[in-house]
Structure 1
Amino acid sequence: MGEHNRGTTSILSGPTLNSPEPALPTGSNPEGRRGLAAVIKLDGFRRLWIGQIFSQLADKFYIVLMVYLIAQYWVSSTPQSNEALAEVAAAIRMDFETRAQKITLLATGIYVANTIPAMLLGTVAGVWADRWPKRRVMVASNALRALLVLLAPVCLLPGPHWLGLSWGYWALLVMTFLESVLTQFFAPAEQATIPQLVPKEHLLAANSLYQATSMGATIVGFALGDPILRLLKQAFFSLGLNGGEFLLLPFCYGMAAISLSTIQMQEQPRESSRESVWQEIGDGLQVLRQQAAVRGAMLHLVVIYSLLAAMYVLAITLAGSIKGLGPTGFGMILAMSGIGMALGAVVMAQTGHRFNRRNLCATGLGTIACTLVLLGGVLGSLGPTLLLCGLLGVGAALVAIPAQTTIQEDTPEAQRGKVFGLQNNLINITLSLPLVLAGALVSSYGLVPVLWLLAALALVAALLERPWQRC
């Protein structure tokens, strides 16, 4: 879909106000055949979805394993280690008194090593995802990650120390960096594969299922990762074997690779490109310039992920205002937002095709604006806060899923990897900046003004969609 014959467009979206939604029901696809049941019956997509489940769980289990190893092997009572870590903590103005704070400091290194490739390499990896067969990219990235994490036990071997920490911790940082690099190749190839396996009329349901699975994997991975690791360790120890906790990640990544390798898909062979990587990145940017719908959907994703990233920080303060919960209970608030997004995704899968996507987006942004304002009015109340956070998650699903579907539909097949790589870059940058700004603003002005500011941003984005012209 190009920009020709579009007429008047809104700032954030591409289609004309009177144009039909591309994914509305058609005579060849009655409503009775829509939704989750229909999309799961698609063999290729089902195999891709199973691969996504295992890959997403592995990504979450990876972070849990790193924190587990740090707590078990690097947070010790040795004066040399504590002195070196205290100097690092002082340099970044971080408290360093309790064991939890020491673990947090070392885990921060893991987070940074995991984030750098996501911020820098997404677009470049997207170019190569377009140059190479996408199924091979997905299989290879998961298989290589399965092999890479097998090196984790080696990092526990004794060896030289740097800055008061054994070489193994620094090796874990390198391993995390490489694991994240491989993830950058998997993500755009995976997103670009969905429209090749799913008919256009089922894309909204497919993206809804992916969103629900992603939220479910986040909740399950972080909530059950530690108990599963400990259970595996004890189970293997009872058999006289050590290292059972190190088998979870290779299993998950390996199962993802196996499931993805069974996908039957036809890809158009690509001739060797004579363009440089940077020229092909420019081609991806050209898609955004030429396709107003893709550009608008990308902006919607930037807005929604900015708001969600800010909520990651504000959740700590929200939890701290609730008696009996406290700042460390912020996970419950984030979990409710995740549950809301998962529920919203299920509703979108079943009924989303009946509505205009721009109306869905405006409704979602308006819902988020209202919930942010109301959150400021119920500070200290557990029930209303959790309910509103769940509603905020539903609003986020109403924005993110139609936007992702529009990008898949309107991006030319040969450019999808580049565009999704660029999308990953923008989202990861978007997730990082509010994490810094939100905390600073709360410290300076308080929680309620920051909630109102975020609500105003969401409301402006909703009004730019001019929903009243389509009522």
Structure 2
Amino acid sequence: MSVVRDLGVLLRLRNFRSLLAVRLLSQSADGVYQVALATYVVFSPENQTTPGAIASAMAVLLLPYSLIGPFAGVLLDRWPRRQVFLYGNLLRATLACCTALLLLSSSAPDWLFYASALCVTAVNRFVLAGLSAALPRVVDTERLVLANSLSPTAGTLAATTGGGLALAIRLLTDGSDAAVVLLGAALYLLSALTSLTLPRTLLGPDTVLHHVRLREALTTTARGLVAGLRHLSERRDAAHALAAMTVIRFCYGALTVMVLMLCRYTWSDSESDGLTLLGLALGASAAGYFMAAVMSPWAVGHFGRYGWLGGCAGAAALLEPALGLTFAPAPMLTAAFVLGLVTQGAKIATDTEVQTSVDDAYRGRVFSLYDVLFNVAFVAAAAMSALALPPDGRSVTVVLTVAALYAFVSVAVFRRRPARLAFRPARNKDE
């Protein structure tokens, strides 16, 4: 009942609702756009999909931004975050329209398509980091765990819904990836317009530097990055939580590539059947995200942030091989639900740890680094899968390796877990 009451309080906060709306529209567009790219690379009849091809696409889309991502964090701590959401989503709407034109042109080279997709993905990482950094500015500390359960999880559900809508549109339009991308562009535009309902200076940051010349700005950015890393090294609890979440993300990436290959070659004989199974996997994972949002406030309150993080990794270590080694659709869909729950539950705990341990003036830089770790871990997992997965996606080695990594994270987190990290509501002064 306490969680329901606090949730009601959150949803009555106008600025929180506006920030949540920006996230939902933006991430639903992300889901539409990402599924359009995935179906183009994986399910297009003219493409011969391999784990290596998937890994190459992920590297093209994510690795270049990983090299410049920390510099974006410095800008997040210099520019009004509301303006980042406004102009970032306007830019993505424009770039998505360019991508749609490239998809309609049969003569456009593949590198130009990937360059356009890279730009959209880069801005996406920038906006997501800003949304996480801005959240403490619209809710009080007492309800931050609940806000971290609701907001990112609702965003993930929105992305999943957008992905499901993209699959439906692609099936109804006889495989038109361009129509799907244009839908994403419209949602990005709506997100940009929604950000205008927030006051320009509400979301911070506390300190905004003056604009300087390019050379001086690059120098300031490099120094700011070093300062952000130094600040994170002084917040060891946040640093260890980020390391654990990075390994969990690696595991999720490896299993994602496996499911894509199973949907493409093992579980289906046609493109439509493969897309349907992929949609079911997305739905199962979304249900896991929702369950994580429901469970996390209670779990963090009873076991602490580190306790819930370690418990999520431990549950995955036990259930992932039990379900995944069958390589059958029904158990793997159940595994998608479990992994959605534990991945989102671990992320909620990590987000809260970072937000409460890192000073606001550094929060944008740290969340940008957080995003970079996500990208690198996912691409590294895809690269490992490219080496280990056979063409049909069945690999006992990958399943057992992922289970061992989950177990390692769980043991490491519980060994480090100090009693003082247990969550204690601010209103209870005697604890």
Q: Letter of the 2:20 partner, please give it.
A: W
How does 1:247-266 map onto structure 2 within 5 Å?
A: 247-264=182-199, 265=202
Q: Deviations over 1:250-301 (max 9, x none)?
A: 3211110111121131633524387521111101110221001110121121
Tell me the percent identity.
24
Output the CA distance in 2 between the equivalents of 1:106 and 1:455.
25
Partner of 1:429: 376
Cα 1:70–1:302, aligned 2, differ >3 Å: closer, same or farther?
A: closer
Q: 1:443 Cα shift?
A: 4.7
Q: Once structures 1 and 2 are overlaid, which stretch shifts more, 363-372 or 329-338?
A: 329-338
Q: Indicate the RMSD between aligned Cα atoms, in angstroms.
A: 3.9
Is 1:270 paired with 2:214?
no
Cα 1:461–1:156 change in 2 (3 A) is: closer
Partner of 2:342: 395
Contact 2:78 2:207 in 1 (8 A): no
Q: 1:64 and 1:178 mapped to 2: Cα distance?
A: 16
Pick aligned residue for 1:438 from 360, 380, 385: 385
Match of 1:358 in 2: 306
The correspondence for 1:60, drawn from 18, 21, 31, is 31
Q: Which residue of 1 aligns with 2:427?
A: none
1:188 — aligned with what?
129
Deviations 1:164-191 (A, max 9, x none): x624755433332332332243222222
Select which of 228, 232, 253 maps to 2:169.
228
> Of 16, 39, 61, which residue of structure 1 is paired with 2:10?
39
Secondary structure at 1:99 match in 2: coil
Deviation at 1:339, TM superposition (A): 2.4
Structure 1 window deviating more from structure 2 (281-290 vs 177-186): it is 177-186
> Which is richer in helix?
2
Q: Could you tell me whether the CA contact under 8 Å between 2:389 and 2:395 is conserved in 1?
A: yes
Question: Is the counterpart of residue 344 in structure 1 residue 295 in structure 2?
Answer: no
Q: Does 1:146 align with 2:93?
A: yes
Distance 1:391 1:325, change over 3 A: farther
Q: Deviations over 1:228-258 (max 9, x none)?
A: 367799xxxxxxxxx9767523321111011
* Separation of aligned partners in 2, 1:350 and 1:46: 22
Counterpart contact for 1:139–1:261, Cα < 8 Å: yes
Q: Distance in 2 between matches of 1:318 and 1:105?
A: 15
Question: What is the rounded CA distance, in whole Å, between the counterparts of 1:171 and 1:385 in structure 2?
Answer: 35
C-alpha contact (below 8 Å) 1:338/1:393 kept by paired residues: yes
Deviations, residues 395-436 of structure 1 (Å, cap 9, x unaligned): 223322111111111111111111111111111000110112
Deviation at 1:307, TM superposition (A): 1.1
Distance 1:41 1:232 in 2: 40
Comparing 114-123 and 198-207, the one that deviates more: 114-123
The match for 2:68 is 121
Cα pair distance change 1:459/1:34, threshold 3 Å:
farther
In 2, are the aligned partners of 1:319 and 1:333 still within 8 Å (CA)?
no
Q: How has the CA–CA distance of structure 1 residues 65 and 311 changed in structure 2, closer, same or farther, with 3 Å as cutoff?
A: closer
Matched-pair contact (CA < 8 Å) for 2:55–2:386: no
Q: Which residue of 2 aligns with 1:280?
A: 224
CA distance in 2, matches of 1:271, 1:168: 41
For normalisation by structure 2, the TM-score amounts to 0.79
Match of 2:233 among 286, 289, 314: 289
Q: Distance in 2 between matches of 1:385 and 1:137?
A: 39
For 1:51, the aligned partner's letter is V
- C-alpha contact 1:369 1:458 (8 A) present in aligned 2: yes
Asked if 2 retains the 8 angstrom alpha-carbon contact of 1:34 and 1:205, the reply is: no
* Aligned partner (choices 228, 239, 243) of residue 299 of structure 1: 243
Distance 1:117 1:257, change over 3 A: farther
Shift of 1:123: 0.7
Indicate if the aligned counterparts of 1:114 and 1:177 stay in contact, CA closer than 8 A.
Answer: yes
Q: Which one of the candidate residues 383, 407, 410 is aligned to 1:459?
A: 407
In structure 2, relative to structure 1, the CA distance for the partners of 1:127 and 1:279 (3 Å cut) is same
**Alignment size in residue pairs:** 402
Question: Any idea what the Cα deviations from partners look like across 1:195-224, whole Å, max 9, x if unmatched?
Answer: 111211222122212332233233222222
Whole-angstrom distance in 2 between the partners of 1:393 and 1:333: 10
Q: Counterpart amino acid of 1:343?
A: M
The residue type paired with residue 285 of structure 2 is: S
TM (norm. structure 1) is 0.73
Q: 1:36 to 1:151 in 2, by over 3 A?
A: same
Please tell me the residue identity of whatever aligns with 2:124: T
| Alignment partners' CA distance in 2, 1:366 and 1:65 | 34
**What residue in structure 2 maps to residue 85 of structure 1?**
none
The question of whether the paired residues in 1 share the 8 Å contact of 2:69 and 2:368 is answered with yes
Tell me, in whole angstroms, the C-alpha distance in 2 between the residues paired with 1:398 and 1:439: 28
Q: Do structure 1's residue 178 and structure 2's residue 114 form an aligned pair?
A: no
Question: Within 2, Cα distance between the matches of 1:184 and 1:284?
Answer: 18
Instruction: Give the one of 288, 294, 316 matched to 1:368.
Output: 316
Q: Which has the larger radius of gyration?
A: 1
Find the counterpart in structure 1 of residue 356 from structure 2.
Answer: 409
* 1:48 equivalenced with 2:19 (yes/no): yes
Separation in 2 of the partners of 1:60 and 1:43?
Answer: 26
Q: For the structure 1 residues 269 and 47, does the alpha-carbon distance in structure 2 shift closer, same or farther, using more than 3 Å as the test?
A: same
Shift of 1:106: 9.5
Relative to structure 1, is the Cα distance of residues 57 and 168 closer, same or farther in structure 2, using a 3 angstrom cutoff? farther
Letter in 1 for 2:96: V
The CA distance in 2 between the partners of 1:170 and 1:438, in whole Å, is 23
Give the superposition deviation at 1:61. 2.0
Cα distance in structure 1, aligned partners of 2:95 and 2:264: 39
Structure 2 distance, partners of 1:324, 1:166, is 30
For structure 1, which runs of at least 5 residues remain unmatched after alignment? 1-29, 76-97, 159-164, 234-242
For 2:357 and 2:92, the matched residues in 1 are separated by 32
Residue 146 of structure 1 aligns to a residue in which SS? helix
**Residue 62 and residue 384 in structure 1: after superposition, are their counterparts in 2 closer, same or farther (change >3 A)?**
closer
2:109 matched to 1:131?
Answer: no
